[in-house]
């Protein structure tokens, strides 16, 4: 069968089988379009149904999560875990707690995770999970009771050699601690490698908190170096103010950039003097308050209610680090009109397909999420390695390994883009580089 027709046919069949799952469709479409030249060169992938199999999760779990709030009221949320592909290692991917979580979002995240994990060069497969539980405004006791209930069901399907969850939106060190405590209680074993993002005093890794943000900057820095540029004196806008955004801002500042804006789901702050990161960390990591508190400490700064307005700010480098589809086609055009030279995706799929096309058609250096934000899962895998060895590396050792992983992702992305005729298209390059390793492993293991 003609490669293009094969890809189009498989995509249409996927849409019919997953009706209404818009985010999942979007993630699959972006990858599938990139793979047409691969199938032209490797018909054995068609013959062995690689595409049909890779787009169907190996296992989809959905379950009830009952818990009791501080007032004694029974609440019920829905839990998910998608175990997408284990061809190159145990399922690996975060848990997201957010009211928007549904099957489509968890499947898009799990599908992306297959290729992202492959790109790291480490032996980890793709998975994702979460719940429509909203941790905002909840007490520590409520979050603990939810996490314990969630893990009571999830523990049946995870393990250090089967599926290793981590954190994502709404899941930080506090939540991982409660989840790990309940797992240990239920299993009566100290299986440190079952979860990553743990506290340093019970099996966690240094640099894990910083990993996604640092990794993003390491990847974008490689893109800039490839064109004879650097972060020095560049104006940077970062959406979000969670772990990814905070540590992307930190590393960008260390490399000489001037970060002038960041946001949360309510609005964004603009500081022409450069964002004071200590203030952001105090607001978000200690006080757990909204970003608008920043202007109480910095009178020259501005706060704007509409968080998407952050993309109207003139900048050299844009780093979307909040959530999916936060930059649309029009916002991409505004960024280009304002002189953006590089975009690095710190969040998962933060640019719509139309926005990505606008960036690529206008020569913007574009680091797609599955390559640019792979640092988090890379250090999660390094945490698993340390747990297996009963040993901990220093901050500098982990950071150096992370930097090397991101450099290799960039090198392999560039190599595949050029080999398949898409020079400077890091979207295609990352998709192909991530796919080839998984596809070859699937071929070797037979029709399973």
Alpha carbon distance 330, 324 (integer Å): 16
Q: What are phi and psi of 157, to 5 degrees?
A: -120, 5
Neighbouring CB atoms inside 10 A of 391's CB total: 8
Query: 92, 116, 128, 258: which one is catalytic?
Result: 128
What's the sign of the alpha-carbon dihedral 368, 39, 88, 13? positive
How would you write the chain as a 3-class SS string? CCHHHHHHHHHHHHHHHCCCCHHHHHHHHHHHHHHHHHHHHCHHHHHCCHHHHHCCCCEEEEEEEEEECCCCCEEEEEEEEEEEECCCCCEEEEEEECCCCCHHHHHHHHHHHHHHHHHCCCCCEEEEEEECCCCCCCCHHHHHHHHHHHHHHHCCCCECCCEEEEECCCCCHHHHHHHHHHHHHHHCCCCHHHCCCCCHHHCCCCCCCCHHHHHHHHHHHHHHHHCCCCCCCCEEEEECCCHHHHHHHHHHHHCCCEEEEEECCCCEEECCCCCCHHHHHHHHHHCCCCHHHHHHHCCCCEEECCHHHHHHCCCCEEEECCCCCCECHHHHHHHHHCCCCEEECCCCCCECHHHHHHHHHCCCEEECHHHHCCHHHHHHHHHHHHHHHCCCCCHHHHHHHHHHHHHHHHHHHHHHHHHCCCCCCHHHHHHHHHHHHHHHHHHHCCCC
Angle between helix axes 103-119 and 395-419 (nearest 10 degrees) is 90
Give yes or no: 128 in active site.
yes
Kindly state the tokens that stand for 130. 């979460």
Contact between 333 and 356 (Cβ < 8 Å): no
Alpha carbon distance 381, 377 (integer Å): 6
> What residues act catalytically?
128
């Amino acid at each position: 069968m003609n490669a293009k027709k094969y890809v189009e046919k498989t995509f249409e069949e996927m849409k019919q089988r997953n009706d209404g799952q818009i985010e999942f469709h979007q993630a699959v479409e972006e990858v599938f379009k990139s793979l047409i030249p691969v199938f032209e060169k490797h018909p054995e992938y068609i013959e062995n149904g690689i595409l049909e199999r890779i787009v169907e999760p190996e296992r989809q779990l959905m379950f009830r999560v009952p818990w009791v709030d501080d007032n004694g009221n029974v609440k019920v949320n829905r839990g998910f875990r998608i175990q997408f592909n284990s061809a190159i290692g145990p399922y690996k991917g975060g848990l997201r707690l957010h009211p928007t979580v549904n099957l489509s979002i968890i499947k898009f995240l799990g599908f992306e995770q297959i290729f992202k994990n492959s790109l790291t060069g480490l032996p980890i497969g793709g998975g994702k999970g979460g719940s429509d539980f909203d941790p905002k405004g909840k007490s520590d006791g409520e979050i603990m009771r939810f996490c314990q209930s969630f893990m009571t069901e999830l523990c049946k399907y995870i393990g250090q050699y089967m599926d290793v969850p981590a954190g994502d939106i709404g899941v930080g060190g506090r939540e991982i601690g409660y989840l790990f405590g309940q797992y240990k209680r239920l299993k009566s074993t100290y299986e440190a490698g079952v979860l990553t993002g743990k506290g340093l005093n019970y099996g966690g890794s240094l640099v894990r908190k910083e990993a996604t943000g640092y990794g993003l900057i390491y990847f974008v820095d490689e893109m800039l170096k490839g064109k004879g540029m650097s972060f020095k004196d560049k104006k940077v806008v970062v959406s979000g103010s969670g772990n990814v955004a905070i540590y992307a801002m930190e590393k960008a500042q260390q490399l000489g950039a001037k970060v002038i804006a960041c946001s949360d789901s309510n609005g964004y702050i603009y500081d022409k003097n450069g964002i004071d990161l200590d203030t952001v960390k105090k607001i978000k990591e200690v006080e757990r308050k909204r970003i608008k508190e920043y202007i109480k400490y910095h009178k020259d700064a501005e706060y704007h209610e509409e968080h998407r307005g952050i993309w109207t700010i003139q900048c050299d480098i844009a780093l979307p680090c909040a959530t999916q589809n936060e930059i649309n086609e029009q916002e991409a055009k505004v960024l280009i009109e304002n002189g953006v030279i590089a975009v690095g995706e710190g969040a998962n799929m933060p640019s719509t397909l139309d926005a990505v096309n606008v960036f690529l058609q206008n020569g913007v250096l574009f680091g797609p999420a599955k390559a640019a934000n792979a640092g988090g899962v890379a250090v999660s895998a390094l945490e698993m390695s340390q747990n297996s060895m009963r040993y901990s590396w220093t901050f500098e050792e982990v950071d150096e390994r992370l930097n090397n992983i991101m450099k290799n992702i960039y090198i392999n992305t560039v190599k595949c883009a050029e080999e398949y005729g898409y020079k400077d298209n890091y979207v295609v390059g990352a998709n192909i580089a991530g796919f080839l390793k998984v596809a070859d492993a699937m071929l070797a293991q037979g029709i399973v």
